[in-house]
Chains A and B, each alone.
Chain A
Amino acid sequence: MSDSVPIPLIPVLLGTLGGVVAGALLRQPEINRLRKQVQILQAEIQRLQALVEEQNRQIQELTVRYKTLKAWSFVEKAKQRARLEGAVMHQWAFKEYVELLCAQASERPLSEEERAFFNAYENLLAGLHGDKDERLIIRNYIRSKYRHEIERLVTVDASRLVASVEAVNVA
């Protein structure tokens, strides 16, 4: 026969519930801010589409410049390739940011890596020029998630991104 310590269940439950409610209340202003951003994106959806298309155009331009470099100018070619991958990496970072914005507006909790990436990229977009470490957080996260796309220089499908933003219900 074991001695069981009676657990005061009701205070524990009330404490947990209180913590959950307090957490939700504390996060509410942040969720409202993100919802407003998604609403702005939805209202200016054509601008978002135009922006992704402009990114695609610039990446195409860089690709052409890379391909026209002579084979023997290998150092310049390697540099151009790295710059091109950086541009593609940014586009996937932007897409990931928009998707995480929508996810948060729909109250989906983010993982630790997603949160670190989101905060780092948001700081960069806000012009709070992050140091190299902040960009490295973005690089590591995006490279681990979209390595194949970046190495194959695959660009983001603008219409698919626009559709995913439009599908979010923030009313």
Chain B
Amino acid sequence: MLRNVILYLVSLVKYLLVSVIVGLIVMHFWPVPGLFVLGLMVLGSFAAAKDDTRKHILMEELQGFDEQLRMTIRNLQ
């Protein structure tokens, strides 16, 4: 559980950083729309980080599963 939270926080920091950088660049040229973009991106970061974490964990899990599966197939032949 804790490890999932940590992965989520790391992912969230990444998304927030990108959001802030992109938002600030847009704000530099178009202050009002830029603020809107920044807000949207920051809000979207939470959902994106959650999805990212779930995907990462699933991918790693399936990798561990596949390694064992390959070993099992080799031994059964």
Residues of A within 8 A of B (CB): 47, 50-51, 54-55, 58, 62, 74-75, 77-87, 89-91, 93-94, 124-125, 127, 132, 135, 138-139
Complex Cα gap A47–B74 (Å): 12
Question: Are A87 and B65 in contact (CB-based, < 8 A)?
Answer: yes
Q: A51-B76, A54-B75, A79-B60 are in contact. Are A90 and B7 (CB under 8 A)?
A: no
Among B60, B66, B68, B73, the residue within 8 A (CB) of A82 is B60
Q: Is the interface of A mostly helix, strand, loop or mixed?
A: helix
30 contacts between A and B (CB under 8 A): A51-B72, A55-B68, A58-B68, A75-B6, A77-B3, A78-B6, A79-B56, A79-B60, A82-B56, A82-B60, A83-B63, A85-B64, A86-B61, A86-B62, A86-B65, A86-B67, A89-B61, A89-B65, A90-B65, A90-B68, A90-B72, A94-B68, A124-B69, A125-B72, A125-B76, A127-B73, A132-B62, A135-B62, A135-B65, A138-B65
A5 to B7 alpha-carbon distance, docked (Å):
68
The CB with the most chain A CB atoms within 10 A, among B10, B56, B65, B76, is that of: B65
Chain B: interface secondary structure?
helix
Q: Are A86 and B63 in contact (CB under 8 A)?
A: yes
Complex CA distance for A81 and B4, rounded to whole angstroms: 10
Interface residue B57 (Cβ < 8 Å from any Cβ of A): yes
Cβ–Cβ < 8 Å partners of B57 in chain A: 78, 82
Most buried by B among A54, A55, A80, A82: A82
Contacts of A47 in B (CB 8 A): 75
Residues A78 and B64 in contact in the complex (CB < 8 Å), given A58-B71, A90-B72, A125-B76 = no
| B76 and A62 within 8 A (CB) | no
How far is the CB of B72 from the nearest CB of chain A, in Å? 6
Q: What A residues does B67 contact at CB under 8 A? A: 83, 86-87
C-alpha gap A47/B76 in the complex (Å):
8
Closest Cβ of chain B: how far from A62's Cβ, in Å?
7
Whole-angstrom CA separation of A44 from B53 in the bound complex: 42
